[in-house]
Amino acid sequence: MAKYTCSICGYVYDEVAGDPDRGIAPGTKWEDVPEDWTCPLCGAVKADFVEEKRNKEPVKKDVNVVENEADSMREMSFGEVSALCSNLSKGCTKQYRSEEGELFSQLAEFYKTISSNAGEGGLKDISLLVEQDLASGYPAANPIAADVSDRGALRALVWGEKVTRILNSILSRYDKQQDSLLEGTHIYVCDICGFIYIGDELPDICPVCKVPNKKIIEVMRG
């Protein structure tokens, strides 16, 4: 029997074990799992799972080469710069660089104010930006951080990409279900990495950055 891995948080659905806690009996094949089933950890849909391939050779990537770098670069929005500075501030704080962290925090607030004054886009605009980040932003940034062995940046990029994939999945589900997706449930956000969770019972730890769920804050109740 096969195993399927969540491409967002790494949870593995094993056909042998099933998911008894959520009504999926042991031995249930992947194709027989209901389409509305979601990842127990991060809430990703079935489309976000990939089958584990046996005896598959790992793909070697040359992290020192960024193909078509000029084509992948684009001007960042004020909101994106604010989010980037906020993440850098948290990274500096974790590395006990309080002065640098405070400066990045001030920059984040500055660009956040500019972004608010510039007006807000709709969900389609947000979805487009999210898809651009996944298609070109992270693939361009990861090799650059790896080339200079910046472990802090690499960790932030790993967290950021996972959270962005979760957001992309939620936006896709909302586009189909609209407000019914949020009715009668809770919305939480991890205060450390930005992980978004929709549901009634929180996981024990954040599936992205592994902090205890006391760091996952409720932001909305449906």
pLDDT at 74: 53
Long-range contacts (CB closer than 8 Å, 24 or more residues apart) made by 138-146: 138/164, 139/72, 140/66, 140/69, 140/72, 140/73, 142/63, 143/61, 143/63, 143/64, 143/65, 143/66, 144/66, 146/63, 146/64
Confidence tier at 73 by pLDDT (50, 70, 90): very low
For residue 45, pLDDT over 60 is answered with yes
Distance CA 142, CA 136 (A): 10
Q: Which of 21-25, 70-74, 143-147, 155-159 has the lowest mean pLDDT?
A: 70-74
pLDDT at 66: 42
For residue 126, pLDDT over 70 is answered with yes
pLDDT at 63: 45
Q: Which of 48-57, 68-77, 87-96 has the lowest mean pLDDT?
A: 68-77
Q: Which of 124-133, 144-153, 184-193, 206-215 has the lowest mean pLDDT?
A: 124-133
pLDDT at 176: 86
Query: 82 with 112: CB under 8 angstroms?
Result: yes
Q: Which of 109-118, 138-147, 153-162, 190-199 has the lowest mean pLDDT?
A: 109-118
Distance CA 176, CA 172 (A): 7
pLDDT at 26: 93
Tokens of 173: 């589900």
pLDDT at 64: 47
Distance of CA 131 to the CA centre of its chain: 12
For residue 56, pLDDT over 80 is answered with no
Query: 49 with 5: CB under 8 angstroms?
Result: yes
Query: What domains are there in the chain, each with its CATH number?
Result: 3-51 (2.20.28.10), 78-114 (no CATH)
The DSSP secondary-structure symbol of 53 reads: P
Selected residue with higher pLDDT from 59 and 134: 134
pLDDT at 116: 64
Q: Rounded mean pLDDT of the chain?
A: 82
Q: Which of 65-69, 167-171, 172-176 has the lowest mean pLDDT?
A: 65-69
Selected residue with higher pLDDT from 25 and 92: 25
